[in-house]
A and B are shown apart, each in its own frame.
Chain A
Amino acid sequence: MDLNNMPLLAALTKKINWLTARQKVVSENVGNADTPGFKASDLRPLDFRKELAEVTHSTSPKLAPVTTDAHHLVGTEFATKLQPEIEKITTDREINGNTVSLEDEMMKVSETSSDYQLMTNLYKKQVGLIKTAIGRTGS
């Protein structure tokens, strides 16, 4: 059974991937806080409500192969490969053209970290519910 076939778990996985990608972008910003001319970047925010609605209410996942013949098999994988959109922050904060605000970046680090904890806890809870449904032997 593919756990990602469950709408909530699929949405959670997507958000977890987004948070991982964001942590990478933020670490680049923090690392280059003293590099002249470096332009800070950030990921475009993920709308969790929209993502959840998308995986819950759509009968076929986005970008799913079209079945033109009754003999075609429908894949089990969701076509939700995360392609984070990166946007640059262009307002200069320093005279050397650097646009990194260390304060903002540190806020993002703690935000990402706690969001990540929220997502993993939700995931664990959901898996726990499945285990309860399976029964005692499942755990």
Chain B
Amino acid sequence: MSSFDDTLKTAASAMTAQTLRLRTISENIANANSTAATAGADPYRRKLVTFKNVLDHETGSSAVKVDRIVPDAAPFELKYMPGHPAADGNGYVRMPNVNPLVEMGDLREAQRSYQANVDVIDATNTMISRAIDMLRS
């Protein structure tokens, strides 16, 4: 039974990690147009989530954890908007380095991984109830 618990714990840890990744993606998409308020200030910088694999010494299984949330070092895009408060001397505004297409792809990947973990939990639960069913009959 404890092995089933480990299975569920590992899947749950992965789901938690994917949820945090999804939250970061939503922050990126929401801030896709967040420019600075004053000239010379930086706009919103895209965030990236990295995963790591940690060995749970209690159960001996390898769980998933979010390693770090790091800023994306990609350069900002320039957009010509002379009337904007954040425009520089030439009338260019620095836009966030968020590409909505990349974010949507990332979002799908997180969704699929989450779903895979839910399927594992479903299958494990079925196995547990089948084991309990052995008491019946």
* Contact A27/B7 with A32-B14, A34-B109 known, Cβ cut-off 8 Å: yes
Give the size of the chain A interface in residues (CB under 8 angstroms): 32
Q: Is B120 touching A109 in the complex (CB atoms < 8 A)? A: yes
Determine if B6 is an interface residue (Cβ-Cβ < 8 Å). Answer: yes
Q: Which of B49-57, B83-91, B97-105 contacts its partner?
A: B49-57
Q: Which A residues are in CB contact (< 8 Å) with B21?
A: 34
Chain B nearest CB: distance from A132 CB in Å? 12
Chain B nearest CB: distance from A8 CB in Å? 15
Chain A nearest CB: distance from B136 CB in Å? 8
Q: Is B137 touching A30 in the complex (CB atoms < 8 A)? A: no
| Chain A binding surface, main DSSP class | helix
Q: Is B124 touching A27 in the complex (CB atoms < 8 A)? A: yes
Which B residues lie at the A interface, using CB under 8 A?
3-4, 6-8, 10-11, 13-14, 18, 21, 50-53, 61-64, 109-110, 112-113, 116-117, 119-120, 123-124, 126-127, 130-131, 133-134, 137
